[in-house]
Amino acid sequence: MKILFSDNSIFGLVNFREPVFRYFNDQGYDVVLVAPNPVNGEDMARVAPAYAKYIPVQMERTGQNPLGDLMYLWRLFKIYREEKPDYIFHYTIKPNIYGSIAAKLCGIRTSCMVAGLGYAFENKGIKNRIARWLYKVGLKCSEKVLVLNESNVQELIRSGIAKSEQVILLSGGEGLVLGDYVCNGSATADVAFMMVARMLYEKGYSEYVEASAKIRKKYPEVRCCLLGPIDELYPNAVSRDRISRDVESGVVEYLGFTSTPSEIMGEPSVAIVLPSYYHEGFNRALMESCALGRPVITTDFPGCKELVEDGVNGYICKKKDAESLYQAMERYISLSPDERLLMGVEGRRIAEKRFDIKDVIHIYENIVRSLSI
């Protein structure tokens, strides 16, 4: 049997789901990956596993050109017709829409994952209404819709975009191979805050910089860092110039982008901060923070709040509220090294209880197993 996985990024496809691909490959399935070519210097050999067949496809990841989207639909249709997979899994908005339609036209069964509602659900303009209508069309072509938090489940059902019988909630996100994450069990008096995210305003960039300025003024020995890619193609992204100005002011340090963020995130002095009000699914960086035993400060927003037990493995602050974020950061600074260490231990406990990739693979397996029914 052959299973095809389709996404808007080969890096994201492999980075988040390679254990799923490897499992099916080990079970004797042919695995095919369909996504645009690597970008921003990503190494093709690094992102595409050797055991899988990788088919690059041209698409405009953030564009809203109808002709470009129709061409993307046609390209997927041709790939699916030629490959003839037994099942297809789609991820992110354009593959979920156009990939699901292409699969339906080819008579191939498919499921999709709504990892987060994203930009299309954040505004009320005509383009966003069209995007939501297209999502409804695409999801009607899909057998199952995998969703990462309860709030998104309710929104998809309430708006009529998905039916309750279609939806499967992955309550622990897309899962982690917990053995890949080492929990550093040492306490330190040093404190460093690290925002790990794409550099988008909806991820809470401005709030983090504002809170960091107050922290740095009162606690100049505390580092406030940024880790993640600059994505200027995305609507409302933070520009390189803005980041450069904030770095030059001495408020934050920009550590750039790395394909192995856990090596930096896992330092014993680090607390992870994500003041997001982006429509997250189940934030990956926060999952990895818990698995690494790092305390977390995040907002009371779906996709973030589910990962923190307030006062146990971190703190929850108000969204779009730099003062609330500052207070949470200062509260963390006031803890003793042993108290910070205990927070990290509690985060690891939460990860082991909820984020095991084996639970996610079991759901994929049940979906694919239905092919024989």
Question: What confidence tens digit (pLDDT) does each residue in 8-43 have?
Answer: 999 889 989 999 999 999 999 999 999 998 765 555
Q: How many CB atoms lie within 10 A of CB 213?
A: 18
pLDDT over 70 (residue 372):
no
122 with 101, same domain: the answer is yes
> Does residue 282 share a domain with residue 233?
yes
**45 exposed, middle or buried (CB, 10 Å; 0-12, 13-18, 19+)?**
exposed
Report the pLDDT value the prediction gives residue 77, as an integer from 0 to 100.
98
- Percent of the chain residues past pLDDT 70, beyond the cut: 94
226 and 367 assigned to the same domain: no
Confidence at residue 63, expressed as pLDDT on a 0 to 100 scale: 67
| Same structural domain, 101 and 159 | yes
pLDDT digits (tens, 9 = 90+) for 172-192: 999 999 999 998 778 899 999
In the three-class reduction of DSSP (H, G, I as helix; E, B as strand; rest coil), residue 249 is classed as coil
**DSSP structure string for 286-316:** HHHHHHTT--EEEESSTTTGGG--BTTTEEE
CATH code (residue 231): 3.40.50.2000
Within this chain, do residues 120 and 236 fall inside the same structural domain, yes or no?
no
Q: Which residue has the higher pLDDT, 314 or 125?
A: 314
Helix (H, G, I), strand (E, B) or coil at 106: helix
CB atoms within 10 A of CB 232: 10
Same domain? For 122 and 145 the reply is: yes
pTM recorded for the entire structure: 0.89
Contact of 131 with 120, CB cutoff 8 Å = yes
Same domain as 184, residue 169: no
Domains in the chain: how many in total?
2
Q: What is the pLDDT of residue 121?
A: 65
Instruction: Give the span between the Cα atoms of 28 and 34, in whole angstroms.
Output: 19
Best-predicted range by mean pLDDT (39-53, 219-233, 328-342, 357-371):
328-342
| pLDDT for position 11 | 87
83 plus 219 within the same structural domain: no
In a shared domain, residues 187 and 160 = no
CA 266 from centroid of its chain's CA atoms:
19
Q: Do 300 and 320 fall within a single domain?
A: yes
Q: Tell me the torsion sign for CA atoms 104, 105, 108, 114.
A: negative
pLDDT in tens, 238-271: 999 999 999 999 999 999 988 788 889 999 999 9
Can you tell me the distance from the alpha carbon of 312 to that of 303, in angstroms, rounded to the nearest whole number? 18
> Locate tokens 């994929």: which residue?
364
Q: Domain check: are 257 and 189 in the same one? A: yes
Same domain, 105 and 139: yes
Q: Find the domain containing 222 and state its range.
A: 178-354
Task: Tell me which of 369 and 250 has the higher pLDDT.
Answer: 250
